[in-house]
């Protein structure tokens, strides 16, 4: 069932308020992260959303912890409103983590969004922590290239940025993660961090993969769990009410 237009307008107004608050927080955090959360979601044909939160050690890159939450999203996919679809499941998954963390990296956009309020902005502002959006596709803004694809000799390679169409403000950086990449990822601050620090933080966690380690692991685990659910190998009750640790089901990472 589609969301009524009047409800969509209300969600857009909520995002405008979120943006107003978040834009004032876009400054360097003042400390280096130690433990970093990655958030990503996949979808089961039977059970709906499969949200995964992982924690990695920022220095070593080791995967320390993960938690899974499943459930039917309360909103269909609407461009620009992803936060209202996926953030509730992410909050549930975060509750299952056994470590405190300093920073969140989220599959999706931060301020590179029509209202400067992507899912990374929603979550970072709600939790009061620095958050960064890392997306595979552009959602909003004008791409400005400073390098051609063939001009990258060292990777990760920043090839340009996304600018606000009205003000020219930089909203995100476009980065080729590795030499095999033919398309960039889009790195934007969500809340409580600035664009330059977001760029440095994410590129330091690109270890030859297309995604930084936090969302690389979250992406891989969420897709694996969704497949197990659809094959009947895993049942929702094994997640203990939406939260669970599934070490014996996990692929080697």
- Which residues define the annotated binding site? 40, 107
Q: Name the strand (E) or helix (H) holding 135.
A: strand 131-135
What's the CA gap between 251 and 3, in Å, rounded? 37
Tokens of 65: 């912890």
Phi and psi at 50, nearest 5°, equal -125, 100
Q: Which residues line the annotated binding site for Mg(2+)? A: 40, 107
Question: Could you tell me if 218 and 109 are in contact, meaning their C-beta atoms sit under 8 angstroms apart?
Answer: no
| Chain-centre distance for alpha carbon 99 | 19
């Amino acid at each position: 069932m589609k969301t009524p237009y009047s409800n969509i307008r209300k969600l857009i107004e909520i995002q405008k308020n979120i943006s107003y608050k978040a834009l004032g927080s876009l400054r360097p955090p003042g400390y280096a992260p130690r433990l970093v959360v990655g958030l990503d979601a996949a979808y089961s044909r039977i059970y709906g959303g499969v949200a995964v939160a992982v924690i990695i050690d920022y220095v070593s890159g080791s995967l320390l912890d993960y938690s899974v939450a499943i459930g039917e999203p309360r909103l269909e996919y609407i461009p620009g409103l992803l936060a209202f679809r996926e953030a509730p499941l992410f909050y549930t998954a975060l509750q299952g983590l056994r470590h405190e963390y300093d920073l969140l990296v989220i599959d999706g956009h931060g301020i590179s969004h029509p209202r400067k309020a992507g899912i990374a902005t929603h979550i970072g502002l709600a939790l009061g922590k620095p958050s960064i959006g890392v997306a595979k596709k552009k959602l909003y803004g004008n791409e400005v290239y400073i390098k051609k694809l063939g001009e990258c000799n060292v990777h990760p390679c920043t090839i340009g940025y996304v600018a606000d169409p009205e003000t020219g403000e930089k909203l995100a950086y476009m980065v080729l993660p590795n030499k095999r990449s033919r398309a960039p990822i889009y790195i934007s601050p969500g809340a409580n961090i600035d664009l330059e620090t977001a760029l440095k933080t994410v590129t330091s966690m690109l270890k030859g993969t297309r995604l930084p380690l936090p969302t690389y692991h979250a992406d891989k685990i969420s897709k694996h769990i969704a497949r197990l659910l659809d094959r009947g190998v895993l049942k929702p009750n094994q997640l203990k009410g939406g939260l669970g640790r599934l070490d014996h089901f996990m692929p080697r990472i």
